[in-house]
Structure 1
Amino acid sequence: MSTTKGLEGVVATTSGVSSIIDGVLTYHGYGIDDLADYASFEEVVYLLWNHKLPNKEELSTFNKQLASAAKVPDEVLDQMKMYPIDKVHPMAALRTAVSALALYDEDADEQDETANYQKALKLQAQLPTIVTSFSRIRQGKDPIAPKEDLSFAANFLYMLNGEIPDEVSEKAINKALVLHADHELNASTFTARVCVATLSDMYSGVTAAIGALKGPLHGGANERVMAMLSEIGQVEKAESYIKDALERKVKIMGFGHRVYKDGDPRAKHLREMSRQLTNITGETKWYDMSVKIDEIVTNEKGLLPNVDFYSASVYHSLGIEHDLFTPLFAVSRVSGWIAHILEQFENNRLIRPRAEYTGPDHQNWVPMEKR
């Protein structure tokens, strides 16, 4: 029996949701560059779930469906107020709250197409409400209900700080959401598919995926990037900090990607957003520092930045708390998780790989008195 550590290069399933071929990322065949430049996040969600871009009427209907599903049950918000606010990470809060949503959905365990689509709408619409509500609750503020006339991206920022965002900020969040929506069979998506392949429910699949995304080797990387930038503090200190870290063989978060050998195609979009936003805020040091680190790591190690690296300074420039970076990732990626969950349900087979045994063998039972 041959094994591959981390299942690297192993093809585990077929999928029509997204592809990474020769370093090019597509959603249902549409290139990520075109989607990032021209599409609204709502269009991308519709594409992922329905396998086609919506026309004007379809998009209008879909936007209304999302808006009407965005309210989180009061019971879940009340539970969030009981969390140990000063200790819990927002990803743990999100994981717990999403699991709790199932308790207040009478169709949580229904598996027909209509019920699953309604659950998909609720999960997509309610994750940003949960994330922003938790942020406000821990500040001693009341959650803000979403506005039905705002875009998905604008609503996130509005629910977070109570102000309707400017066009640049809305565009930046929209682009980040589009870039993070799906990424083939990444760790959290694989987790979601393994979970629902048992015919567990969609809430369980998304909760499991959030648990996988929480790790610093997956969604948690962008938060670690910002922690590093904050620790460095000044552009002049970047070179000595990074070279010392490389000498000590410390992993520099936000670099390298298992499936991209010539660079993550999403990174350039976030790099440009970082440049624009840091210029607007007057804190260009975050962009300049990132570029300096990029140059050093690329030259010294041959590693290129991935989607997490420049997203850190983008989110920081938008005033988003650093430990909300990964929950924002989840707000986007739930669209892809759901697309894969729906696809798994359509042609399901229990996912049950084998493991090569490496433990001791031929052991004889030893009675208790002789051990």
Structure 2
Amino acid sequence: MKQEYIIYKLSESIKTTSRIDPDLFVKYNVKRGLRNEDHSGVLVGLTKIGDVVGYERLPQGGLKAIPGKLVYRGIDVEDLVKGFYAENRFGFEETAFLLLSGYLPDKEEDEVFRSLIATYMPLEQKTKMNILDLEGQDIMNILARCVLEMYIFDPAPDDTSRENLIRQSIELIARFPTIIAYAYNVVRHSRQGRSLHIRHPKENLSVAENFLYMLKGEFTDLEARVLDLALVLHAEHGGGNNSTFTVRVTSSSGTDTYSSIAAAIGSLKGPLHGGANKAVTDQFLHLKETIRDWTDVQEIDDYLMKMLRKEVYDKKGLIYGIGHAVYTVSDPRALLLKEKARELAVEKGREREFAFLELLEERAVGCFMNYKGNQVNKRVCANVDFYSGFVYDMIGLPQEVYTPLFAMSRITGWTAHRIEELNFDSRRIIRPAYKNVAELKKFLPLKKR
């Protein structure tokens, strides 16, 4: 029997042996995807780091839709962003300090923390050479590989003391921008045959500025400030999102920081988690080419309804960027990023595209509720991905770095959750249960099978 046939036969067996009857989930009251019937998340833990608010539970049962709130360590992210605007400061570094420590730094602490990030931002020579030599075509894969490699250079990689966890966290936050920028330049060099040009980080620049400098050289002040805002808004989103939960699950086993973070990168790489902004970007490009009159509400509605009916575009019945697991009335991240996108559109001469995107948001929400409102049984809104891809495109970022950019921001939340998981007074490894629904079978000797 040929090896190829065995592979085929095994793959065919999966059709039945790996299928679970959906009715069994109802029979045994199993929450698929750790989701309740109303699509809200099943409570599996406690945290002081981030809070995602999109509805209220009513005393008589059911949910009440409310404007969305995102809270970092007890501080509304909207207040945080407004504070950065008022003092004309880059806020990502201060956000990282807040998430790691639980409090806002004073002026001296802020300056020292920023200098620490600048100190850790350059890579070890061997890591740089491995990015160049091993190459690769996927930046998320390269990022995970480099994170695992950091274990080798760490003098105490398995030490889970609080001081060591903080040091490791700051190093990871500092090095992600450099790894991603280097990796992109290598990928571009490999694909396009362009000359390889590596720029090293500068001590006097913020994380957002350094990333733009390393990636493309020149950038405007508004580009850097909009990117800084995007980093602040993506830094943390509660312990229940897939990649952060991955960090908490792996950390609960006692594994090292680098293994845990590499696992989170693998989770974020999945298109259902970290690839949404790219999906929205591709969708927007399609709609720009397909809709003849960008101001014609009827033409827009007709086409969006065809998308929901799985008749056009990718025929999946989705409008990417619309809807969220928690947010109902509004996604605060989308509202904040949208206003900066408006400013950037003016700088780039792309006001007409922005107006079209804004109209698409309005019509898409309406069409979705008209077509699927009874199925989802809750209000929906545009999420942050609806605008983030357009923002990144205006900044001049290639699509290959969209998901890595998400990781570059979310590493702050990941490390904060790892620290919290490892500092519970009575720790337990996270071990949920699965109900076995297979039928019992008798063993037969090999010659009788």
TM-score w.r.t. length of structure 2: 0.78
RMSD across aligned C-alpha pairs, in angstroms?
Answer: 1.7
Counterpart Cα distance in 2 of 1:98 and 1:289: 40
Q: 1:241 Cα shift?
A: 4.6
AA partner of residue 448 (structure 2): K
Counterpart Cα distance in 2 of 1:117 and 1:211: 22
- Aligned counterpart in structure 1 of residue 158 of structure 2, from 103, 109, 116: 109
1:365 and 2:443 are equivalent in the alignment: yes
- The match for 2:220 is 166
- Aligned counterpart in structure 2 of residue 288 of structure 1, from 352, 355, 363: 355
Counterpart Cα distance in 2 of 1:2 and 1:243: 34
Query: SS of 1:26's equivalent?
Result: strand
- Aligned counterpart in structure 2 of residue 12 of structure 1, from 44, 53, 68: 44
Consecutive unaligned residues in structure 2, runs of 5 or more: 1-27, 36-40, 56-67, 85-90, 190-194, 295-299, 311-315, 370-379
Counterpart Cα distance in 2 of 1:349 and 1:191: 15
Deviations 1:262-287 (A, max 9, x none): 22111111112222212211123442
- Contact 1:70 1:122 (8 Å CA) reproduced: yes
- Contact 1:193 1:340 (8 Å CA) reproduced: yes
- The match for 1:242 is 304
- Aligned counterpart in structure 1 of residue 180 of structure 2, from 111, 131, 153: 131
Q: 1:20 Cα shift?
A: 2.0
Q: 1:227 Cα shift?
A: 1.6
- Contact 1:235 1:292 (8 Å CA) reproduced: no
Deviations 1:222-264 (A, max 9, x none): 0111122223334834725533221214322222111112221
Query: SS of 1:14's equivalent?
Result: coil
1:180 and 2:234 are equivalent in the alignment: yes
Query: SS of 1:352's equivalent?
Result: coil
Counterpart Cα distance in 2 of 1:15 and 1:122: 23
1:233 and 2:300 are equivalent in the alignment: no
- Contact 1:35 1:178 (8 Å CA) reproduced: no
Counterpart Cα distance in 1 of 2:127 and 2:304: 43
- The match for 1:267 is 334
Within a 5 Å distance, the mapping from 1:12-51 to structure 2 comes to 12-21=44-53, 22=55, 23-39=68-84, 40-51=91-102
Query: SS of 1:54's equivalent?
Result: coil
AA partner of residue 331 (structure 1): M
Counterpart Cα distance in 1 of 2:305 and 2:168: 48
1:58 and 2:112 are equivalent in the alignment: no
- The match for 2:6 is none
- How many positions carry a matched residue from both structures? 367
Query: After the TM superposition, which of the residue ranges 223-232 and 286-295 deviates more from structure 2?
Result: 286-295
Pick the structure with greater CA Rg. 2
- Contact 1:235 1:288 (8 Å CA) reproduced: no
1:75 and 2:126 are equivalent in the alignment: yes
Q: 1:84 Cα shift?
A: 4.7
1:151 and 2:206 are equivalent in the alignment: yes
1:343 and 2:420 are equivalent in the alignment: yes
Query: After the TM superposition, which of the residue ranges 334-343 and 204-213 deviates more from structure 2?
Result: 204-213
Moved over 4 A (4+): none
AA partner of residue 308 (structure 2): L
- The match for 2:15 is none
Counterpart Cα distance in 2 of 1:17 and 1:204: 22
Counterpart Cα distance in 1 of 2:261 and 2:281: 26
1:252 and 2:319 are equivalent in the alignment: yes
Query: SS of 1:267's equivalent?
Result: helix
- Contact 1:234 1:289 (8 Å CA) reproduced: no
AA partner of residue 351 (structure 1): I
TM-score w.r.t. length of structure 1: 0.94
Query: After the TM superposition, which of the residue ranges 260-269 and 288-297 deviates more from structure 2?
Result: 288-297
- Contact 1:66 1:122 (8 Å CA) reproduced: yes
- Contact 1:70 1:146 (8 Å CA) reproduced: yes
Q: 1:101 Cα shift?
A: 1.8
- Aligned counterpart in structure 2 of residue 222 of structure 1, from 267, 277, 283: 277
AA partner of residue 177 (structure 1): L
Consecutive unaligned residues in structure 1, runs of 5 or more: none
- The match for 2:167 is 118
Counterpart Cα distance in 1 of 2:324 and 2:171: 32
Counterpart Cα distance in 1 of 2:185 and 2:156: 29
- Contact 2:184 2:400 (8 Å CA) reproduced: no
1:207 and 2:262 are equivalent in the alignment: yes
Q: For the structure 1 residues 75 and 241, does the alpha-carbon distance in structure 2 shift closer, same or farther, using more than 3 Å as the test?
A: farther
Q: For the structure 1 residues 296 and 367, does the alpha-carbon distance in structure 2 shift closer, same or farther, using more than 3 Å as the test?
A: farther
Counterpart Cα distance in 1 of 2:77 and 2:167: 27
Q: 1:292 Cα shift?
A: 3.0
- Contact 2:252 2:428 (8 Å CA) reproduced: yes
- Contact 1:70 1:129 (8 Å CA) reproduced: yes
